[in-house]
Homo-oligomer: A and B are copies of this chain.
Amino acid sequence: MKGVDLVRLSREMSGYAVDVRRYLHVHAEPTSREFETVRFIRCELEKIGLKYVNIPDGGVLAEIDGDGSSHSSILLRADCDALEMTEAPDNAAGKKICISSNPNAAHMCGHDSHTAILLGAARILAKMPPNSIRGKVYLLFERGEEGGNCIYYVMKYIQLHKLRIDSCFALHVEPDLPVGTFWIREGPANAGNVNFEIRLYGKGGHGSRPDLANNPLDCFVAVLNQLKDVRYKYIAPNDLITYNIGSVHCGTRRNIVPDMLEFSGTARFYNVEAGGIFKKKLRDIVDKCADFYDCVVEYRVFSGPGLSVVNNREAARIAADAVTEMYGNGCLKDLPISLGSESFAMLSNYYPSVMIRLGVRNEERGMTAGLHSSHFDLDEDAIPYGISAHLAYVMKYMSVADRAIPFEGFAGDVDAVLKLTNRPVPKRYDTM
């Protein structure tokens, strides 16, 4: 099937995908608790007539068998969770087309469109004439991408059933790219992270006698002073790394010495070794300062260094060829690498994978706000571009029978990944 056909089919599927996107957008559900969203996806898959399994606390994994002329299998992934936040009703130009009806959840990271695009692609793939698809295509509707780590339960399933996966593909909407363009890069595409939430316990008292108490704020200031040295003193200058202290909370009244301080933050990097050094130094600093200031430390969260998304060179080239054949070389745009984190890192560490970015910016229509902003809005005209990119990756990959990308994936099972990245087994929400 030629590129022109994929573009046409994708455009014809737009109406359906836009409806799906709006439905999901209005009925946003927070990370790991996408119960109605999952029901909706299953219902759509049943209408299409696709086989699927509902992986508890993981997501929905559907399957399209090819004609068997190739043993290759590709996994296309869309996430489906929303953020725990309240959506603003307007974008930079005026009212949005639709907004979340749930004041506690909003699709401000565009996962509604990811799922809509993949369902649109699924409908097209399912109706393709015999012999169009040589190998197998998995469609993963992943839950809990925003920190829920639900991909753990998906990987558990994949490893338990020894599913063969030769390559993974995903896209993410990108408000810094105009509609009709893509960003595709070899190598790191998203950052790994170290996340921390730490409590320092001192001793409370009356604000007029700090000498009789022990304000944990003194310890905290010492930690932050030391932390400023880590980047230049211990990490190679060519290793990208940054960090943020996102919150500090301590005390209630000016005349009371607080007895506890809680702070949280994140570090981002591409080289997991650099992340490891940061984490070790942070721990050393906190422990030593706590010792010095006679505070007790509680590491409530201390995860990582987590994996970064690494786009496989050949997978990225296949993806780039797939979209440029449809839209010309001009459709590829450059962007600085993101330092956001992505659960797709898991798949990209096991299989040769690529995650591309899909332009959804439209300045005239006011669709310019960044991801995670309450004003985020996307131009639905981007949806057919997204559908066609999925289709074209499948076609391009399978144009070579039994294509196998040389790749050395992570050797251990998914529990080994948890251990490596110091993350707990993700919380379960499904009734077992």
Interface residues of A (CB under 8 A from B): 191, 195-197, 206-211, 215, 217, 221, 224-225, 242-258, 261, 264-266, 268, 338-341, 370-372
A209 & B339 in contact (Cβ 8 Å cutoff) = yes
Tell me which residues across on chain B come within 8 A of A249, comparing CB atoms.
Answer: 248-250
Tell me which residues across on chain B come within 8 A of A265, comparing CB atoms.
Answer: 207, 254
Q: How far is the CB of A317 from chain B (nearest CB, A)?
A: 27
Q: How far is the CB of A306 from chain B (nearest CB, A)?
A: 12
B242 & A215 in contact (Cβ 8 Å cutoff) = no
Tell me which residues across on chain B come within 8 A of A258, comparing CB atoms.
Answer: 246-247
When all copies of this chain in the complex are counted, the total is 2
B246 & A255 in contact (Cβ 8 Å cutoff) = yes
A208 & B261 in contact (Cβ 8 Å cutoff) = no
Complex-state Cα separation, A196 to B207, whole angstroms = 13
Subset of 11 A-B contacts with CB under 8 Å: A206-B370, A208-B268, A208-B339, A209-B339, A210-B243, A217-B248, A246-B254, A246-B257, A247-B252, A253-B264, A254-B264
Tell me which residues across on chain B come within 8 A of A208, comparing CB atoms.
Answer: 191, 242, 244, 266, 268, 338-341
Q: Indicate whether A242 sits within 8 Å of B206 (C-beta atoms), given known contacts A254-B247, A265-B254.
A: no
Q: Indicate whether A255 sits within 8 Å of B244 (C-beta atoms), given known contacts A208-B338, A208-B339.
A: yes
Complex-state Cα separation, A132 to B258, whole angstroms = 51
Complex-state Cα separation, A255 to B254, whole angstroms = 28
Q: How far is the CB of A123 from chain B (nearest CB, A)?
A: 34
Complex-state Cα separation, A370 to B209, whole angstroms = 12
Complex-state Cα separation, A257 to B266, whole angstroms = 10
Tell me which residues across on chain B come within 8 A of A221, comparing CB atoms.
Answer: 221, 224-225
A246 & B242 in contact (Cβ 8 Å cutoff) = no
Q: Indicate whether A217 sits within 8 Å of B245 (C-beta atoms), given known contacts A208-B268, A265-B254, A339-B208.
A: yes
Tell me which residues across on chain B come within 8 A of A340, comparing CB atoms.
Answer: 206, 208
B253 & A247 in contact (Cβ 8 Å cutoff) = yes
Complex-state Cα separation, A265 to B257, whole angstroms = 9
